[in-house]
Structure 1
Amino acid sequence: MTSFKHAAMLSGVALSAFAMPAMAQNAAAPQAADTPSLGEIVVTAQRRSESVTKVPISITVADSKQLERQQVNTITDLSRIAPSLEIQAAPGQNTGGGGSIRGIGTQTFSAGAVASVGVVVDQVSQGNANISNLFDVARVEVLKGPQGTLFGLTTSAGVINITTNKPEFDKVSVRVRTELSNAGTAGSKSGNQVMQGVVNLPLASNAAIRIAGFGNLRQGPDYNLTSGKYTGNDTWGTRGHLLWQPTERLTINLIGDYTQTRTTNGGDFFTFVKANGAAAFPLAAGVPDNVSANLASCGITAAEGNRNFCTSANYVDHTYSGGASLQVDYQADPFTITSISAYRKSLESGSGAATSVFRADPLLLQVANGDVHRPIDLFTQELRISSPSGQTVEYTGGLFYSNQIQSRMPEPLTVSIHPAPGVFIPVVSAGTGAFRVSDTSMAIYGQSTIHASEKLRLIAGGRYTWDGLKLDTFAGSILGSTNSHTGLDVNKFSWKLGGQYDVARKTMVYGTVSRGFKGGQIATPAYPRTPYVVLPEIPTSYELGLKSTLLGSWVLDTSLFYSTIKNFQAQQCITDVNGVISCDQKNIDGVKSRGAEINLFGKVTKNLSLNTGFIWAKTTYPTGFKGTDGTMIGGTQLAYAPEYKFTLSGEYSQKLTERFNGFFAMDTVWKSRVRYEANSIAETTFRPHWTVGGRVGVRTADERFTVAVFARNLFNVHEPALMQSSFPYSDGANVGAIYGPQSFRSVGLSLDGKF
């Protein structure tokens, strides 16, 4: 009944909201159309196609050519395209993609959480049933700052807005591309074989279908000394897109995708990067645990970049994800009506690397988790209307509904001591029981741009959201009778106000203030602790920016920003007395993010494309904040947030003959020091560093065929995805790290053919 009343209320308000801008439009004199010109970079950051230089939002844009030359094949790779964007790829922690923008993001192992940085693919919010691989992508837009007015609940820090390539009515086309590397060949530290294929088939003069598929097979970087095998991560996926325009006014897009991943031999998980000498573990009754010696007995040397582990356990984990969306656009003059219905599902099942947390059989202490079964179901429905461009009052408004259900079967945890071969002493048996988290959200939203004069535009938008969150725990080992219930109902209004002014024909300045909203979460700690509520996150953000077109088509995007976050949702992990990594989700009031960013992207000359950016983002804990080690860290940089970051990528091409062109591409990132824990332990920070890659190759003059040699992380800089002190105990004396493929050098060959 509550949901019905909210829906009825939102529908009534929506009708009123839609009527008002329609009347304003009828009363106003039409202005010149604001249609992007040929050669301009077009984005959909405001749910309509516009030139990037006309949008009053700080945006970093990467088109398909940039994504391919930087070999952006996964969501994690996107951190190389924008200085403001960081994506942590630690297994189980990347809620909604694991992204952070300007230092603000959601890093958590809690099932009852949503992301601060939303991932949107073809106008569909991915929630926590997120895609992991990128293929046949037309454009990626990184929108910075709260975007809740138009994009909704999970966008309090920003949005990664992904647009895939649409079917084409007028031609049959085929494309095949691959990137091949092998562990140990040409200095490559791991192996990776990426294969992508696309077929476009016209079905009629007004209908076409596009089918894209990929395989991403990876060996390493972690290596099991016991089995003599690299870890394996094999992913296969496909997407089908049907585009049909039955009339001039009606457009139908039907999209479906499916991906499956098989992880073997441990995947990307903890390895030891620092180990102490002999120490008496409290639960071992005085038996010394010489961590470094025990690791050395199976060939492990704990040091930066160590990717070796040693265990006889066999891990196999499967992840399945997919979904479908139906978008219908109807031009009902004077506005366009859009309906988007979408369903997504993901499932992780099996015995992942966390089955053995340390992955070192000789250690005295062993911590193991049981098998996992983690399904996620997400349904979303959006209905919106948009005015045409070029009116005195331009508007977009709509209704949005989403329901996300995450379930987990019981996940046992055991701690044991192995004082001698074959001797097994159980210490702790705990874990989580079966539970289900349901997150239902309904919203009405609208945003208008008022052309007050030829050069001045005013912006006003708002979104009213009802978010209902509940967690049910279940007795026994199945999702049967409810054992306990925890809930949270929130009604919030988020908004945006601002203005923009054209100071010259190709230069615009803007200023905005916005209030965002990210729903609460229900944390699910291990037994015997009970679930608890973490309050919604409320950011208030101020931004001043300038955009200009230089040298014909090179875009300058620069901004100053200041944000305060009420009830920032953080996670703090410690290793308890049993050697178990225990993570708490909590609110931190008074987190701030402020700084400046500059981005330049586009074509400098006919032969030179260049994309570069720099950010200073001072993102800090509040005054008086105490870290997990008991030290005061108020005013210092947030975990996972580099204060400075620089990105540079580009390609220069040169005619070699009438039929062939040569090219050289570069891809580099510099970051300041990064901390991985909310404490003062220096051993879990990583130093300032450069990561450099590039490609050199030849392509035909018509760009149909390309062959190139590439290198990623050329100088083999071992930046971790995550670090953990007290691994298994003794603070910074023992440290574990998770490394991914981005942490090691990769050298290989890329081929591309269009037919």
Structure 2
Amino acid sequence: MHIIRFSASALAGASMLALCGAAQAQDAASAPQTEASNSDIIVTAQRRQEKVTDVPISITVASAAQLERQQVNTVNDLARIAPSLEIQAAPGQNTGGGGSIRGIGTMTFSPGAVASVGVVVDQVSQGNANISDLFDIARVEVLKGPQGTLFGLTTSAGVINISTNAPVFGEFSGRARTELSDAGTAGAKYGNQVVQGVVNIPLASNAAARISGVANLRQGVNRNAIDGDRNDTNRYGVRGRLLWEPTDRLTVNLIGDYSQTRITNGGDFFTFVKATPDIVAELASCGATVGEGNQNYCTDDSYVGKAKNYGGSVQIDYAADPFTLTSITSMRKSSEFGFGAASNVFRGDTLPISVANAAIDRDISLFTQEFRVSSAAGSPIEYTAGAFYSNQKQTRDAETVQVTLFGNSLPPSITPALVIRDESLAFFGQATGHVTDSFRLIGGVRYTTDRLSLDSAGSDTDTVLDVAKWSWRLGAQYDLMPGTMAYGTVSRGFKGGQIAVPANASPYVVNPEIPTSYELGLKSTLFGGWVLDASLFYMKINNFQAQSCIIDASSIISCDQKNVDGVKTRGAEINLFGKVFDGLSLNTGFIYAKATYPKTYIGADGTDIGGSQLAYSPRYKFTLSGEYQQDFGDRFAGFLAVDTVWKSRVRYEENSYRDTTFRPHWVVGGRVGLRTQDERYSVAVFVRNLFNVHEPSLMQSSFPFGGAANVGAIYGPQSYRNVGISLDAKF
């Protein structure tokens, strides 16, 4: 505990030094960072810059100001900005990082799987080598429904489109901001210290660099009851951007980033929340109390997992009137070392079962190249066309799981070393035709070829899946009046297949997923600046890629990847975002998404769950984030911010067990603070999850046996209260 408090104190001291240094700086402060008015909310949802109210796609937009007031520091935190978006934060879940939209996401962690919701950063697809931390972000757009025409095969349910802040010519400026909390202080259930910094450096009249970094250090949420230590999750990241305009027609954007992670004792991993009397007694003897919200486990072992993630891209734009030529080349790599190393995944040394995973290394490398041509804005026919190539390679060490049950060692479960390659080439185009000043027609198409191959150690032949598919989009939009637009679209998406790799068995193919989506929408401007985005949607998925997990006879989690026809999602969503009036910014939304299994669908427990809600998908969800500012004279202003989410009941397994669902609940947070009128300096006190609601990331029955009698849960930082102070300075 002394070490944790020292870390918090040291970071607080560093933050105060940064604030003091900023206060003494002679350079002018950066322009105040405020919520834009409607006319200034520009998005790149169609791979070109457009006003959000002109884009015939349901979009939730979060500005830099909103992300900061909601303390959105990681990709997982994005689930709080949009009612349609859910992100499963548990280890091994959430392939590709994008979670699910309108109830549809990647529900399988097969090594060859790709995301249903793609993550795109500065126009570069992250594939399965996705970033974790968000810092120095300009804007996040959540695009709902299939986006395969312009964004490709990993976007069958939607896209999280992230834009970082670009360098600014002719300006030297910087910023430091922190969020500091300590476990046990002011009711905080875990400690977290976030320090972010950025500097903008002018290099010439037509060139500038921007360097930003983050340290995100967390103590907990899990705690070893034997020694009292909280699991550390420490991440560090840095990004550099170079913007150069050698001529008035040519722009070069060079971006590179690097991050590393260190996790002790498995980080956020399973604890017992329900158990038979013998297991309850065993855990109680070492100080762990079984029940909802249990943060404690018991082990004499100590082990560390490490990861690094890095990449770079170069984007070149040339204005060759009347169109623009763009080339984007990128490379990413992600590596994990020692993950899975644990003497017992149940982390209970006195339990009658031990499941030991050998330490393994995993690597992902991704290369992408995109060429496209775009017409000038305002042309009678606006178009974007191009070609896209990607090559992703994953390598995994052989993995051995050894089970000891009531003193008897069972035969080991062995997954061989693997090399998975996913190579794709696509040609695409989309156009909007202006039939009249108010009426426009939309058409787009993409042809994708994809080859997925698996080379398994000890196998004489590779497993190969070759696919060629068309994606398309048709629609129309009509301006009902100035500032109000209605649209209707139908889209066909495509998500690549996967190769399942079960332990002690031969690999097999899971076919590509093909969604067809229908959407009606309305966009309008209210009160001169508040954006209304409302939509009705229906989507049916052929060959939905699902996963059924059970605890097998060896007490090992065994998952069966499969295709399921007849999965649907339908419902309605409304979002309002932006500035209501001077002093009040408000972003809120509500969704009804009935995302269901097909009729007569048999769950992992053998019961009929046909027609019921998909796992990880709340049927109803409400989000609200807002800030009100009150001026105190010419120099200072006070502010009050709220951040709240309500969800209906969520199930975590493909079965009928009520014990692995979580009840309808509110999660409430907010900030209160003081800032200078020029927004150079601010200080605030914050709370997240004020009422300490223990929403899990994942729940697993038969943990380690006995069906609903024994249940394990994975809790993350969203599952517990956190209270702290935030400091911000610009110079």
Tell me the secondary structure at the aligned position of residue 659 of structure 2: helix
Match of 2:555 in 1: 579
CA distance in 2, matches of 1:563, 1:353: 41
Match of 1:346 among 330, 334, 340: 334
Shift, 1:400, TM fit: 0.2
- How many angstroms does 1:143 deviate by? 0.0
The answer to whether the 8 A contact 1:229-1:265 is kept is: no
RMSD: 1.1
CA distance in 2, matches of 1:323, 1:531: 31
| Pairs within 5 Å for 1:190-209 | 190-209=190-209
1:478 aligned partner: none
Letter in 1 for 2:463: T
Secondary structure, counterpart of 2:283 in structure 1: helix
| Structure 2 stretches lacking a partner, 5+ long | 1-35
d(CA) in 2 for partners of 1:92 and 1:258?
Answer: 22
CA contact (8 A) 1:468 1:487 kept: yes
Partner in structure 2 of residue 186 of structure 1: 186
* Counterpart residue number, 1:437: 420
Aligned residues of 1:316 and 1:352 also touching (Cα < 8 A): no
2: CA distance between counterparts of 1:176 and 1:362?
47
Aligned to 1:723: 699
Taking the aligned partners of 1:355 and 1:742, their CA distance within structure 2 comes to: 27
Letter in 1 for 2:711: V
1:600 aligns with 2:588: no
Q: CA offset at residue 94 of structure 1?
A: 2.1
Counterpart AA for 2:280? S
Per the alignment, residue 236 of structure 2 pairs with 236
* Contact 1:267 1:352 (8 Å CA) reproduced: no
Three-state SS of the structure 1 residue aligned to 2:581 is coil
Residue 372 of structure 1 and its aligned partner are, at CA, apart by 1.5
Which AA in structure 2 matches 1:446? Answer: G
Q: 1:495 aligns with which of 452, 472, 485?
A: 472
Cα displacement (A) at 1:429: 1.1
Match of 1:507 among 471, 475, 484: 484
Corresponding residue number in structure 2 for 1:129: 129
Question: What is the rounded CA distance, in whole Å, between the counterparts of 1:510 and 1:100 in structure 2?
Answer: 24
Equivalent residues, number? 696
Query: What's the CA shift for 1:154?
Result: 0.2
Contact 1:59 1:142 in 2 (8 A): yes
- The one-letter amino acid paired with 1:553 is G
Deviation at 1:356, TM superposition (A): 2.4
Q: Is the 8 A contact 1:447 1:462 kept in 2?
A: yes
2:676 corresponds to which residue?
A: 700
Q: CA 1:565–1:38 in 2, change beyond 3 Å: closer, same or farther? A: closer
Aligned-pair distance for 1:352? 3.9
Quote the residue 1:215 is aligned against: 215
User: What secondary structure, in the 3-state scheme, does the structure 2 residue paired with 1:484 have?
Assistant: coil
> How many angstroms apart in 1 are the aligned matches of 2:341 and 2:101?
29
Deviations 1:277-334 (A, max 9, x none): 3xxxxxxxxxxxx222222222222100001000112120001001000000001111
User: Once the 2 structures are TM-superposed, how far is the Cα of residue 351 of structure 1 from its aligned partner?
Assistant: 4.1
- The 2-side partners of 1:416 and 1:601 are apart by 54
When residues 353 and 274 of structure 1 are mapped into structure 2, their CA distance, relative to the original with a 3 A threshold, is farther
Asked if the contact 1:263–1:352 (Cα under 8 Å) also holds between the matched residues in 2, the reply is no
1:483 Cα shift? Answer: 3.6
| Counterpart-to-counterpart distance in 1, 2:509 and 2:343 | 28
| Aligned counterpart, 2:526 | 550
Paired AA for residue 368 in structure 1? A
> What is the percentage of aligned positions where both structures have the same residue?
68
Contact 1:297 1:362 in 2 (8 A): no
Q: Distance in 2 between matches of 1:728 and 1:98?
A: 29
1:452 Cα deviation after fit: 0.5
Between 104-113 and 490-499, report the one with greater CA deviation.
104-113
Structure 1 residue 353: deviation in Å?
6.3
Of residues 634, 643, 650, the one that matches 2:610 is 634
Taking a change above 3 Å as real, the CA distance of residues 645 and 727 of structure 1, as seen in their structure-2 partners, is same
- The residue aligned with 1:357 is 345
- Which of 445, 455, 463 aligns to 1:472? It is 455
Deviation at 1:265, TM superposition (A): 2.5
Contact kept in structure 2, 1:140 and 1:162, CA below 8 Å: yes
**What amino acid does structure 1 have at the position aligned with 2:206?**
N
The alignment partner of 1:397 has SS state of strand
- 2:635 and 2:326 map into 1 onto residues whose CA distance is 46
Pair 1:653-2:664 in alignment: no
Q: CA deviation at 1:126?
A: 0.0
| 3-state SS, counterpart of residue 410 of structure 2 | strand
Give the distance between the partners of 2:649 and 2:88, measured in 1 at CA: 15
- Residue type matched to 2:144 in 1? K
Q: Which residue in the other structure is 1:564 paired with? A: 540
CA contact (8 A) 1:181 1:749 kept: yes
Q: How does 1:655-694 map to 2 (within 5 A)?
A: 655-694=631-670
Farther off after superposition, 351-360 or 330-339? 351-360
397, 400, 403: which is aligned to 1:415? 403
TM-score normalized by the length of structure 1 = 0.91
Match of residue 458 from structure 1: 441
Partner of 1:11: none
Paired residue type of 1:543? E
- Mark the CA change 1:251 to 1:697 in structure 2 (over 3 Å): closer, same or farther: same
**Greater than 2 Å deviation, 4+ residue runs:** 36-40, 351-356
Q: How far has the Cα of 1:108 moved from its partner?
A: 2.2
Once residues 695 and 343 of structure 2 are traced to their aligned partners in structure 1, the CA distance between those partners, rounded to angstroms, is 24
Q: What is the 5 A alignment of 1:294-443? A: 294-352=282-340, 356-419=344-407, 425-443=408-426
Partner of 1:28: none
Q: Which residue of 2 aligns with 1:107?
A: 107
SS, match of residue 718 in structure 2:
helix
| Deviates most, 320-329 or 355-364 | 355-364
SS for the counterpart of 1:598 is: strand
Q: What do the CA deviations read for 1:474-500 (whole angstroms, capped 9, x no partner)?
A: 13xxxxxx6431010000001000000
Task: Give the letter aligned to residue 519 of structure 2.
Answer: E
Amino acid of the structure 2 residue aligned with 1:661 = A
Q: Secondary structure at the match of 2:175?
A: strand
